[in-house]
Amino acid sequence: MFSRTRLLPVIATAAALAGCSSEGELVVDQGIGIASVLSSCPAVGIPDYTGDVTAFRTAGDRSAANLDMTASITNLRSTCNDSGAKVYSGVTFDVIARRMDTRGARQVTVPYFSTVVRGGSAVVTKRIGSVTLNFADGQERAQASGKAGAFVDRAEASLPADIRERITRKRKAGDPDAALDPLADPQVRAAIQRASFELLIGFQLSEDQLAYNVTR
């Protein structure tokens, strides 16, 4: 169901590996190595095409004249507690909506999902929640807040000791592998991918709603 997220690729740069901790730093004073490699906190983001939802009055008519309401997820904020064997990540966000017909008070409930993804594609858990928007009579816009949370096993989100040593080992100019990027090693890349988790938030869309977002 998920397309590529708005997050940086997991193995694109050393900075991307830092997760919710400080950025990976390149150490050059005593050789070359990466000081910070991977956080056990899952990265947080919104999958492409799931951060907005559009509702029409009559099914099958996607014209502007038939538009009923639009809503967007914004102000995504995350916290992480990685002090125990289970890492807990919490997310809060806002849903901002706009309706076309402002006559009368109206209440609209929109569903959203929160899912933990491992290695960029494997869905570990998925939960469905909902946010209720209340429009007052004559009011065009409404706003509500939502939240989600998930646990990740700290051991699964940590790199094996041998892989971490390959990445963080200081390399001197005379070393045979001094000019080699450790992140280019297929074994290192695979280990990083297995230890990489994401907590993704988005609207629980119908097939028609998702197709509209993709093609608009």
| CA nearest to 131, candidates 68, 199, 56, 202 | 202
Q: pLDDT by residue (tens digit) across 166-185?
A: 777 766 666 666 556 667 77
69-111 residue pLDDT tens? 999 999 999 999 999 899 999 999 999 999 999 999 999 999 9
Could you tell me the two tokens for 93? 């966000």
Contact 108, 141 (CB under 8 A): no
Q: And the tokens for 30?
A: 């005593």
Average pLDDT of the chain is 82
Look at residue 11 and tell me whether its pLDDT is greater than 60. Answer: no
What is d(CA 178, CA 14) in angstroms, rounded to the nearest whole number?
A: 17
Share of the chain above pLDDT 90, in %: 57
Q: What tokens does 62 get?
A: 């996607």
pTM of the predicted protein model? 0.77
Q: What percent of the chain has pLDDT over 70?
A: 76
Q: What is the pLDDT of residue 173?
A: 65
d(CA 149, CA 208): 28
Q: Identify the H or E element spanning 161.
A: helix 161-168
Higher pLDDT, residue 103 or 163: 103
